[in-house]
Structure 1
Amino acid sequence: MSQLNDISLVAQVVVFKNTRAFDELVKKYQSPIRRFFLNLTCGDGELSDDLAQDTFVKAYTNIASFKNLSSFSTWLYRVAYNIFYDYIRSRKDTTDLETREIDAACSTEQENVGEKMDIYQSLKMLKEIERICITLFYMEDVSIDKIAGIVGCPTGTVKSHLSRGKDKLATYLKQNGYDGN
């Protein structure tokens, strides 16, 4: 039902230029897309907001290219993925993401600040593709098949990234006092 509603909203945007229909799509997906970026940027709230905004601007301007070959959410995550990679490629200092300090101002207002900081620190230990796969699968509940469509690689490769990423996260967290209980 949700997929059918998304397609109806997309059709209204494309055919009638209905901005209210697009607003509904933004309301539905802004939190998941922002959370996706928040995990990819290891807690940088401002950057996550900027990337999410860029994603919705690009989605709106290119919505006519949505061909319904996958769900709208998969298409939108693919747009977000491309926005993230455009951002990474455009940076001159490629070590910035690896050495970025966690945005303490945003984190202090949240519950379990220490645990969230540890999660962001552990995510920094992963390769970008592992971080993307882990974020989509475990934090956004996206299926392996959809992740494969988003990142453009076979499902077996996604499974490998998930396995390696999960092992690295487990090792890091065990070394930092989390014993799995």
Structure 2
Amino acid sequence: MSQLSDISLVAQIVVFNNTRAFDQLVKKYQSSIRRFFLNQTCGDSELSDDLAQDTFIKAYTNIASFKNLSSFSTWLYRIAYNIFYDYIRSRKETTDLDSREIDNVHYTEQDNFSQQTDIYQSMKMLKDIERTCITLFYMEDQSIDKIAGITGCPVGTVKSHLSRGKEKLAKYLKQNGYDRDRR
């Protein structure tokens, strides 16, 4: 489906309240939105599913506000981005302990059982905005301009977050036995 068909589906939803059209948009984007959250939550699939569901509910209830100033996918990722940061803010307000420290202790005590766990662990070392930029660029194949639209950061700032995040990931993975020269 192209951007034109996304716009056509949005029009059907807004004008005719066509829920099947929204279902088509969900089917098209659910995997990438869920994957975005899976990377943001460092592998928490239940939380990722909940946040993805919240994203699609918010998109459906606000679909009439889509003005086609960006692609539908950029608009949807912007909603997902906001849902995630609302979740982070609410968690920080209700938590006395730093859950990142608890997660790090928990992961340190466990054996490294797969590369996936190592990737998620390395993603935890990044700042939230760096993880978002890395996830959108490398895992969701979004352009730097689209990431800027999603996060509200200037293009240069997105590039900086990508650069710093990539350096941190490389350093962490190299320290944990993942070396480019080794195969």
State the TM-score, normalizing by the size of structure 1: 0.91
Structure 2 residue identity aligned to 1:39: N
Say whether 1:175 aligns with 2:178: no
Say whether 1:32 aligns with 2:36: no
Q: For residues 153 and 64 of structure 2, what CA distance do their matches in structure 1 show? A: 24
Structure 2 residue identity aligned to 1:155: V
CA RMSD of aligned residues (A): 1.4
Corresponding residue for residue 2 of structure 1:
2
Q: Which runs of 4+ in 1 moved over 3 A?
A: 97-102
Corresponding residue for residue 109 of structure 1:
none
Q: For residues 77 and 30 of structure 1, what CA distance do their matches in structure 2 show? A: 11
Say whether 1:84 aligns with 2:84: yes
Q: For residues 117 and 149 of structure 1, what CA distance do their matches in structure 2 show? A: 30
CA shift, 1:97, in A, is 4.8
Corresponding residue for residue 149 of structure 2:
149
Q: How many residues align?
A: 171
Cα deviation code 1:28-73 (max 9, x no counterpart): 0000000000000000000000000000000000000000000000
CA shift, 1:180, in A, is 1.8
Say whether 1:59 aligns with 2:59: yes
Q: For residues 54 and 88 of structure 1, what CA distance do their matches in structure 2 show? A: 14
Structure 1 residue identity aligned to 2:71: S
Say whether 1:71 aligns with 2:71: yes
Cα deviation code 1:81-113 (max 9, x no counterpart): 0000110111122732564367xxxxxxxxxx6
State the TM-score, normalizing by the size of structure 2: 0.90
Task: Flag structure 1 segments of 5+ consecutive residues without an equivalent.
Answer: 103-112
Q: For residues 27 and 13 of structure 1, what CA distance do their matches in structure 2 show? A: 15
Greater C-alpha radius of gyration: 2
Corresponding residue for residue 110 of structure 2:
none
**1:98 and 1:127, CA in 2 relative to 1: closer, same or farther beyond 3 A?**
farther
Q: For residues 127 and 66 of structure 1, what CA distance do their matches in structure 2 show? A: 30
Q: Which aligned pairs between 1:102-113 and structure 2 lie closer than 5 A? A: none
SS in 2 for 1:33: helix
**1:74 and 1:99, CA in 2 relative to 1: closer, same or farther beyond 3 A?**
farther
